[in-house]
Structure formats: structure tokens, C-alpha cells
Amino acid sequence: MHPEDLTVAPETSPDDPGVEAGEAIRRSVQAIFTDAERQARTIEQAAGQRGQRAAALARQAAREEGEREALRVLDEARTSAAAIVNEAEEQAAAVRKRAADELSRARQRAVQEAERSAQRARARLTNSRTRPSATSTR
């Protein structure tokens, strides 16, 4: 029931003491309703402000959690990248070693081939000196 509903009935006389008491009660009830409405607005405003603060804190917490998660993922990526680089360096070192070994074997084969060629050349030279020449026997 609202204070507007508390009006004096027209059949009563304004000089009646009950009318005066009723009017006082009506004013008192109206003041109570007005005060209650004011308090309700104050409570609503305070609740709205608390809600806004809670929402701001939740957004901040979400941002911070997102930043922590991004840093964790970045750290994992760095660790993974470091592991990949280490593996690549190990593979490159193995390839370099195989290449060096192959080069060493190729040099060794080349030296051996050069020594055999030199030996054959010396043998031909020696044979040509010990054999009588075709022009000298005629």
C-alpha cells in the first residue's frame, strides 16, 4: 500500500479529531515510505558500485591470468626452441664429422692413387732404361 492510497474519506469532517490523527498517521507513513525509497536507492547505488568494482577486479584478474598463461606458453616455446636448436646443432656436428671423415678418406685414397701412379711411372722409367732401345739394336 502506497501513501497516496491513504487519503481521508470525503464523508468525514475536517474538524473531527480522528481526521487529524489519520492525517498525522498518513504523513508518518508517507515519510516512512519516502525514507524507505531513499534508502533503497542508496542501497541500489551502493550495490551497483560494488558490482562495478567486482567486475573491474574480475577483468583485472582475467588479464593477469592471461598474462601469466602467455608467459608460461612463451617459456614453453623457448624451451622447445632451445631443444630443437640443440638437436639441430648435434645433427650438424654429426654431418660435419661425417664430411670430415669422408674428406679424410678421399685424401687418403688420392694419396694412395698418387703413390701408385708414381710407382708405375718409376717402373716404366726404370724399364725403359734397362731395355735396349729399338734404335740401338739396329
Tens-digit pLDDT profile for residues 10-24: 555 656 778 888 899
- Distance between CA atoms of residues 39 and 60, nearest Å: 31
User: Is 137 within the bounds of a domain?
Assistant: no
Write down the pLDDT at residue 98.
Answer: 96
Examine the pLDDT at 133 and tell me if it is beyond 70. Answer: no
User: Is 136 within the bounds of a domain?
Assistant: no
Examine the pLDDT at 129 and tell me if it is beyond 60. Answer: yes
Write down the pLDDT at residue 138.
Answer: 47
User: Is 98 within the bounds of a domain?
Assistant: yes
* Of the candidates 45, 13, 49, 8, the residue with the CA atom closest to the CA atom of residue 27: 8
How many domains is the chain partitioned into structurally? 1
pTM of the predicted model, to two decimals?
A: 0.45
Write down the pLDDT at residue 17.
Answer: 74
**Do 6 and 33 meet the contact criterion of CB atoms below 8 Å apart?**
no
The whole domain housing 23 covers 3-129
Q: Scanning the structure block, which residue is given the C-alpha cell 487529524?
A: 20
